[in-house]
Amino acid sequence: MLVNIHREIDMAASELTYKGFTGSIEVSIEDGCLHGRILFINDIVTYEGNTVEEIKAAFENAADRYVEYCAKTGKSANKPFSGTFNIRIGESRHRVLALLANQKKISINEAVCNAIDLQQRMPRRQSLQTTSALDSIVAAAYRIKNDAPLTTSASESATTVKLFNLEPDSVTQGSC
């Protein structure tokens, strides 16, 4: 039975959501149960259950208890996101991303935001089976830098068009 539960979780999202909280789900083969923790908060709050229904209920109960605890102690329940983050991508990736953004007359920040937005809009299965949006940015920037055709496949072409609001005619099919 635990194997079937594990498959069900793998096929669905491996995260739970409730009242703005996100929780993880993991399988403990050793203990024969499901367990998780509330993500993106300042404290460590865990929960467990033996079935999918039990883990969902335990997560919701843990989130409610955490909100009560925070209210009693005067703490903020959610760890705030500032809207900024630093990422180390290396000199060469930074260069090709800057080249592509410059070519398209957008900022690097806008290129990254477009890639994230596109990735969020893709169905889960499609996003797992296709080149990631950031990979497409880097590949397109590399081709621009080397005066090669912008894309090599129809799916990459569609990704590039969506990311940079290009006219379909400006994106060429070809191979490098």
Q: How far apart are CA 6 and CA 11, in angstroms?
A: 9
Rounded mean pLDDT, 97-110? 90
Strands 46-49 and 21-24: what pairing?
Answer: unpaired
Q: How far apart are CA 149 and CA 140, in angstroms?
A: 9
Can you read off the two tokens belonging to residue 52?
Answer: 């999918």
Rounded mean pLDDT, 89-105? 89
Which position has the higher pLDDT, 138 or 59?
59
Confirm if 103 and 140 have CB atoms less than 8 A apart: no
Q: Which amino acid is present at 77?
A: A
pLDDT of residue 118: 82
Rounded mean pLDDT, 14-41? 93
Task: Report whether pLDDT(37) > 50.
Answer: yes
DSSP for 42-58, please give it: SS--EEEESSHHHHHHH
Least confident of 11-25, 66-80, 159-173: 159-173
Task: Report whether pLDDT(8) > 50.
Answer: no
Task: Report whether pLDDT(110) > 80.
Answer: yes
pLDDT of residue 148: 54
H or E element at residue 34: strand 33-39
Comparing C-alpha atoms, which of 41, 11, 164, 22 is closest to residue 101?
164
Give the predicted TM-score (pTM) of the model: 0.53
Confirm if 124 and 150 have CB atoms less than 8 A apart: no
Q: How far apart are CA 45 and CA 173, in angstroms?
A: 50
pLDDT of residue 167: 40
Q: How far apart are CA 31 and CA 158, in angstroms?
A: 46
Can you read off the two tokens belonging to residue 81?
Answer: 């996101």
pLDDT of residue 112: 87
Locate the domains of the chain by residue range: 2-73, 91-169
Q: What is the tens place of the pLDDT at every residue in 51-80?
A: 999 999 999 999 999 999 999 999 888 876
* Confidence band of 29 (pLDDT split at 50, 70, 90): very high
Q: How far apart are CA 25 and CA 32, in angstroms?
A: 13
Q: How far apart are CA 13 and CA 38, in angstroms?
A: 15
Task: Report whether pLDDT(146) > 80.
Answer: no
pLDDT of residue 151: 46
